[in-house]
Amino acid sequence: MALRLNVIEMGEGTPVLLLHGLFGAGRNWGGIQKRLAQRHRVLAPDLRNHGESDHASRMDYVAMAADVAEIIARRGLAPAAVLGHSMGGKVAMALALGHTGLVSRLVVADIAPVRYPPALRGYVAAMRAVPLTPGLTRREADAALEAAIPEAGIRAFLLQSLDFGSEAPAWKLGLAEIAAAMPDIEDFPVTGRFEGPTLVLAGERSGYIQPPHHALFRSLFPAARFAMVEKAGHWVHADNPNAFLALTEPFLA
């Protein structure tokens, strides 16, 4: 049975799906979704084990792409434009390769179809180690993460998924499931070919997409074109939203 995925939807017009990265949620698209919704019907789901969506032990890209395919099919959106960032970019690529008829055009933001080193496993371990005791404050949770994650901005991003509203704080993320699935999340074993228009965006200050990756992109996405988001790191849409939109809006139109 298909998982229940929470979806934020706004706007009318040709459909666009926005897929967030690891530890994120659909709400992270915020202003980007509102801007695109001026011309499109824009849906931003919480992927499995994230946000308000269901948790599941399986978390490879075939399964996550199937979740998104079910949203597209159930709501009659096919074919839809799909834009994914980081892990969401891999989900978007897997969707385009495995469900070609559902995708009209593809935007991949700062991720390549390759295996990445296990650099983020420490984040998962640090989050799982936060003592979720009644009365825990955001400042105390932030301090508990600081040794493993010195970047204040990253800690603030991660803590968006810690719910302080109940008696004892609880992670909305399926951290146990994510921890077990990290080898799958780091990898990208999906093959195939998507002939549709494809835009690959790299952050100027990010190292996630390297020039040697371009040939691999073209082998899977022969229509791929490449662009750089100036003054942006890995979080290209958050670091420089105006430059990000200047590249994506004409492509989606």
Q: How far apart are CA 198 and CA 175, in angstroms?
A: 32
Q: 1: pLDDT confidence band, cut at 50, 70 and 90?
A: low
Strand, helix or coil at 81? strand
Domain ranges of the chain: 7-115+187-252, 121-180
Q: What is the CATH number that goes with domain 7-115+187-252?
A: 3.40.50.1820
The yes-or-no verdict on residue 156 having pLDDT over 60 is: yes
Q: Which pairs with CB-CB distance under 8 Å and at least 24 residues apart come from 141-146?
A: 141/169
* Mean per-residue pLDDT, 97-121: 97
The yes-or-no verdict on residue 215 having pLDDT over 90 is: yes
The yes-or-no verdict on residue 2 having pLDDT over 80 is: no
Which one-letter DSSP state was computed for residue 50? S
Please tell me the pTM assigned to this model: 0.96
Residues present in the chain in total: 253
Amino acid at 111: I
Whether the CB-CB separation of 106 and 194 falls below 8 Å is answered with yes
Q: What is the pLDDT of residue 117?
A: 96
Q: What is the pLDDT of residue 3?
A: 87
Q: What is the pLDDT of residue 99?
A: 96
* Mean per-residue pLDDT, 206-221: 96
Q: How far apart are CA 219 and CA 83, in angstroms?
A: 19
Whether the CB-CB separation of 69 and 166 falls below 8 Å is answered with no
Query: How crowded is residue 121: how many other Cβ atoms within 10 Å of its Cβ?
Result: 15
Whether the CB-CB separation of 173 and 199 falls below 8 Å is answered with no
Q: What is the pLDDT of residue 74?
A: 95
Q: What is the pLDDT of residue 167?
A: 80
pLDDT digits (tens, 9 = 90+) for 69-86: 999 999 999 999 999 999
